[in-house]
Structure 1
Amino acid sequence: MPKFNYVAYAQDGKLEKGTIDAQDQDAIAQTLSSKGLIPVSIELAKEKSFSFKFGKKVQEKDLSLLLRQLGFLIQVGISVPQAIEMAAKQINKKSFQDILLEVSKDVSEGLTVGQAMQKRKDVFPPLLISLVITGEETGQLDRTMLLASEYYEKIAKIKGKIKSASFYPSFVLIIATIITTGIIYFLVPIFASIYKGFGASLPLPTLVLMKTSDFLHENILKFIVALVIFIIIFKRLYQNNKEFRKRIETTLLKLPVLGNVFHKIMMSSFATSLSSLFSSGVSLDRALDLMAQTSSMEIVKEGTEKASKMIKEGSPLW
């Protein structure tokens, strides 16, 4: 049987840790409960304890683990503020731990979890805030937390697939660019001097290559500066211009092979998000509105907004 590491609170409030052989996590939870312990986390022994790589946003994988703990604690009857505080104590990253303790304090003082998270929307994703608010409205916060945990776990896997799919072509493109630039800058001048010694007329492609090499030698610093400026402008346009983002996304989807991969990943992410919202009790029109607000892709956002509008006007799903 697999080994599981567990963290649980005893009735006197002391934290206990240990390892148990069991078929699954449910069996361990029952065993701990029968001993009067309140489980905080149960993980396979081979898994490492999580720590938050905290920037402005929490990473999906870490968020999934946090939400699973919160859902489990609330499910066994722990009050929401105490559950958040207990989960916070399991986090290694001090900055995020402090934020969770502030959320716990706000909830203790009368705010809902959704309102407390809304105050810190630079940390918590908008979709999570919406799910939590819905869970509180329906009285199913524990279930919503667990569903959100599953959702962010799936999103983390999808993002991993995107990185895997884009890494190899990006790597090949970068290496090819470096090699091509090196050949033009270092090797072509050597052959150019040899060709000039022949005194023969050269074909147009060779002349173009030699001129390109001469240009690089004479303007290498200008070329580098221009490249940096281009990257900065491209990044700003992508961040601030909706039409530009849409064109780039459309172009990516039209790429051979990779375009199909990106399309499948995009649809998988969309379906996963929509499924999580439905499972949490969010209505279709509201779910689509939330998807449009939180989508990072312009073409998805535009299509979702259009679908939401049509449904509100009475159009059928098909």
Structure 2
Amino acid sequence: MLKDRLIARALEEGFAKCRVTRPDAVPELPARLAGFVAQGRHGQMGWMAERMAWRGDPAALWPEARSVIMLAEPYTPAHDPMAVLDQPDHGAISVYAQNRDYHDVLKKRLKRLGRWLLEQAPDEQIKVFVDTAPVMEKPLAAAAGLGWQGKHTNLLSRDLGSWFFLGAIFTTLEIEPDSPENGSCGSCRACLDICPTGAFPAPNQLDARRCISYLTIEHHGPVDPELRALMGNRIYGCDDCLAVCPWNKFAVQAREVKYAARPELIAPPLAELARLDDAGFRAMFSGSPVKRIGRDRFVRNVLYAIGNSGEAALIPAAQALLDDPDEAVSDAARWAVARLK
């Protein structure tokens, strides 16, 4: 049976789980997305509103598709991702960004699996996606039975925990779909209660405008001073709601060595990061997803962390950027100096 061979091949390629669903398996998706955008919770991510018709309806993205193959690949950290939060003069970079860009790594693996699939069915077609198109991978993965969306809206799995990437292969092939997993978080509120900025208005709801991952990566310009003070030393992304999840006791070790953290990115000193110019930033984060936000936004984040550090020794690092050409950076430098003084 093709599906059995597909799953076996996916495991050979290094994926931890492979499940199948239909493009139209989540009929409530358009209304959910429309409500999220109508409340403005997408913040500056205008592409969510612009491509809402596709994002809310995977069947509209590629009408010829008959099946969606959802795959999970672990990136479980070998170190405690929360330990850096106790080092205020160092920066916290999200686990997924501490080495190679997963978009590139995962997409190559998806393409290999896709080529194999086309060898089995030469008359069919495929398209692969890794956060590279208006595809809502988490609801589709839940519909396929890879796991369920927890109260923090991220995907959880009984046998993978929460540390895994998602990839999707859309195909014109008719493949028997899997059933959704009936997972539950019960009365647990760990992910909701740990959020530093209160980004969850209610269980299963996210206001991206208050999410540190959004603020450090997607938000352009100065961040609201009220939120800056709550960001701590998180300079790219935030792992709090993932790291605290009890289901991580079932997390499996990452198989891909390119996801293993580079030691210099686990807890880099803020003073060194503040000195980065554009060339230095590009060199340090070559091949990393951090590179895409650019030097200015990254150094802005570093200055917020410096301002939150309580370390007077970092004042000179902030003062050196008071006249930075980028307005958000110079604003962050003034804020950091004022807080530390």
Say whether the fold is shared (TM-score over 0.5). Answer: no
Question: Rg bigger for which structure?
Answer: 1
Tell me the TM-score normalized by structure 2. 0.29
Higher relative contact order (CA 8 A, sep 6+): 2
**TM-score relative to the length of structure 1:** 0.30
